[in-house]
Amino acid sequence: MRVRQLTAAAAAAALLLATGALAGCSGAPVPARTPAPVPSSAPPAAVTGDVRPYDRDGLRDGGTLRWALDAVPATLNLFQPAATADSALLAHALYPALFRPDPHDRPVADPDYLVSAESTPPGQQPQVVTYRLNPHAVWSDGTPLSVADFAAQRAALSGLDPAYAGTRPAGYDAIDSITQGADRSEIKVVFRRPYAGWRGLFAPLYPAAGTSGPAAFNRPLAGGDGPTAGPFTVAGYDAAGGRVTLVRNPLWWGDSPKADRIDFLATPAERRLDALDQDRLDIAPLTAAVDRAQAAPGSSADLAQASAQALRRAEALPGITVHRASAASLTQLTLNATRAPLTDPAVRQALARAVDRQRTADAALTPLGLPAAPLGSHLLAGDQDGYQDNSGAISAADPGRLLDRAGWKRPTGGGTRTRGGKELALTLVIPADSALARRTADALTAGLATAGIAVHPLAVPAEALLRDHLTTGDYDLALFSWPAGPDPAADQRSVYAKPRPGPDGALETGTNYGRTGTEEIDRLFDRAGAELDPAAHLALLQEADTRIWQLGHSVPLFQRPDLVAVRDDVAAAGAWGFTWPRFQDVGLLDRRPE
């Protein structure tokens, strides 16, 4: 799943290499989705999710599920820098989230935790959100969820006390006070300024015992540390042995979990197909296993062939189905506006026009069995509520004419454009050992060559992509992605915020790796973040996206693919897209020997 704004910088380097981690969520079962036929003139649509449909009453009560992790996480506190996608997966089984996104990333109150939540209407100040908690919701030590949990989490994440060493997710700094309402189940949150993304707060919610004070908050949350409040609770947490065991929470008040136990097993991507073949896993993300597959010793297969062979093997495993969805992750081509010739906005705009996004999406996604759906927004995924293709914001002029006017002329007979004896040649950094990145880079290289732009891909280790290139500005073009969040006004503002001079005069870019921005774009994000009217909020985001297109900051390409292998006797599992599992429903269809 996504650790959305919490680990956005780390997620940038993980593009095309993520292990099929889960995303978003849904308060109700998500049926399998078969894309509807579309007219040939219409662009392909993203796949919102592919989860085996089920009926709770038809599932077996009991049994053990075996679920692949990359590694046993060092912490389950998603607001600590060490949090990973595996941290988020486990946290969703163990801790409350007041709202869960539906398959289109629209927040829906989770009735297991929240009876209702109401905000004062737009224009009324101050904004007050009144939560009414499910009165049956208790922590695993029997303590009811309460105002103390909300207040402690706000204190830890507001940024007011630098002793708290966690991340600073947006929204908590906008809270002025948190008080108990008419009774224990009613919580009132008063904001010092309007905050449109309030539904994304307290997800997950941690017990006050783990967040009251910097010492408690800064300690890694792992194993059986502290109470939980999900359908499952921790029975074993063995980092060295690579196993986390969850069992039914005896105090759980909602629908009883179908499985008795879930064993989360650390299984490196390169070993997952073997583990599935040997009946040692039931649910296994396969995106990285397929994308980074290596040829067998002595084989002459290249990266693309090895990846294709791995996918064919996965599809042929007996008793296994490979589920596919468009992940909540926006893959983009970022242009470094501080490197000539991309310092010229006209060159950036021409390059953005020259990118054939349909061709690129086809090269990236079709080999994986997903629709070749190109993206037309920097801020919203194609299956996200409110998505709109704003690519028409850039000039409709032929990119060749734009480059001609900028002084980059094409030699007679074709070839790479030149100006002043210098070729229009750019280096494209991509994560190494990724077949998807290589296919995407090849499509970009071929497409831009038709406009006279030479592109030279440079494959680098994933950690080097972020550390040595994106953060230092040592690149021309870069291929990576950002998580698609439910609140782009907060989650993605830093990606496009105008760089500012620091105390030493050097440009501080933060996570804006394109290194260009405008005051207008910043204001649009800020206005959207404070706009409580949904239609007006979305209109401001669309305007911001339009300005980002016109700036030539980056080119949205496609949503990253998500492949998940699920054993055929397991229901309510698959590739969740924006959703995450409803863990109490994941179970077995028939009896299995224990």
Question: Model confidence over 549-568: pLDDT tens digits?
Answer: 999 999 999 999 999 999 99
Task: Please tell me the predicted confidence (pLDDT) of residue 42.
Answer: 63
Residue 430 pLDDT greater than 60, yes or no: yes
Instruction: List the one residue out of 262, 312, 264, 319 whose CA is nearest residue 289.
Output: 312
Cα angle for residues 139, 144, 146 (degrees, 5° grid): 110
Residue 26 pLDDT greater than 50, yes or no: no
Q: What is the pLDDT of residues 447-482, one digit of tens each?
A: 999 999 999 999 999 889 999 999 999 999 999 999
- The enclosing H or E element of 550 equals helix 534-551
Instruction: List the one residue out of 539, 509, 556 whose CA is nearest residue 379.
Output: 556
Q: How many CA atoms lie within 13 A of 543 on its CB side?
A: 15
Q: Exposed, middle or buried by CB within 10 Å (0-12, 13-18, 19+), for 407?
A: middle
- How far apart, in whole angstroms, are the C-alpha atoms of residue 373 and residue 434? 20
> How many whole angstroms from its chain centre is CA 29?
21
* DSSP-derived 3-state class of residue 587: strand
Instruction: List the one residue out of 114, 147, 119 whose CA is nearest residue 132.
Output: 114
Residue 228 pLDDT greater than 50, yes or no: yes
**pLDDT band at residue 591 using 50, 70 and 90 as cut-offs:** low
**Full-model pTM:** 0.92
Burial call 260-273: b when 16+ CB within 10 Å, e when fewer = bbbbbbbbebebbb
In degrees rounded to 5, what are phi and psi of residue 281? -140, 150
Task: Please tell me the predicted confidence (pLDDT) of residue 168.
Answer: 84
Q: How many CA atoms lie within 13 A of 472 on its CB side?
A: 10
Task: Please tell me the predicted confidence (pLDDT) of residue 1.
Answer: 39
Task: Please tell me the predicted confidence (pLDDT) of residue 544.
Answer: 98
Residue 548 pLDDT greater than 80, yes or no: yes
Q: What is the pLDDT of residues 41-79, one digit of tens each?
A: 566 888 889 998 888 988 999 999 999 999 999 999 999
Q: What is the pLDDT of residues 306-319, one digit of tens each?
A: 999 999 999 999 99
Strands 418-419 and 422-423: antiparallel
**The amino acid at 227:** P
Task: Please tell me the predicted confidence (pLDDT) of residue 44.
Answer: 83
Q: What is the pLDDT of residues 135-153, one digit of tens each?
A: 999 999 999 999 999 999 9
User: Roughly how many angstroms between the first and final C-alpha of the chain, as a whole number?
Assistant: 29
Q: What is the pLDDT of residues 155-211, one digit of tens each?
A: 999 999 999 998 888 999 999 999 999 999 999 999 999 999 999 999 999 999 989
Q: What is the DSSP letter of 492?
A: S
Please list, in sequence order, all residues whose beta carbon lies within 8 angstroms of the beta carbon of residue 150, skipping any fewer than 6 positions away: 131, 178, 187, 189, 202, 205
Q: Chain-wide mean pLDDT for the chain?
A: 91
Task: Please tell me the predicted confidence (pLDDT) of residue 594.
Answer: 56
**pLDDT band at residue 372 using 50, 70 and 90 as cut-offs:** very high
**pLDDT band at residue 20 using 50, 70 and 90 as cut-offs:** very low
Percent of the chain with pLDDT over 90: 82
Strands 107-109 and 418-419: unpaired
Residue 30 pLDDT greater than 50, yes or no: no
**pLDDT band at residue 296 using 50, 70 and 90 as cut-offs:** confident
Four-residue CA torsion sign, 320, 322, 327, 331: positive
Task: Please tell me the predicted confidence (pLDDT) of residue 301.
Answer: 78
Instruction: List the one residue out of 439, 298, 428 whose CA is nearest residue 365.
Output: 439
Task: Please tell me the predicted confidence (pLDDT) of residue 220.
Answer: 94
- How far apart, in whole angstroms, are the C-alpha atoms of residue 457 and residue 475? 11
**pLDDT band at residue 18 using 50, 70 and 90 as cut-offs:** very low
Task: Please tell me the predicted confidence (pLDDT) of residue 28.
Answer: 29
Please list, in sequence order, all residues whose beta carbon lies within 8 angstroms of the beta carbon of residue 329, skipping any fewer than 6 positions away: 2, 11, 15, 18, 23, 381, 481, 482, 483, 484, 559, 560
Beta bridge partners of 99: 109
Residue 131 pLDDT greater than 50, yes or no: yes
Contact status, residue 47 vs residue 246, Cβ threshold 8 Å: no
* DSSP-derived 3-state class of residue 150: helix
Per the listing, tokens 């109490």 go with 584
Q: What is the pLDDT of residues 477-512, one digit of tens each?
A: 999 999 998 899 999 999 999 999 988 888 899 999
Residue 34 pLDDT greater than 90, yes or no: no
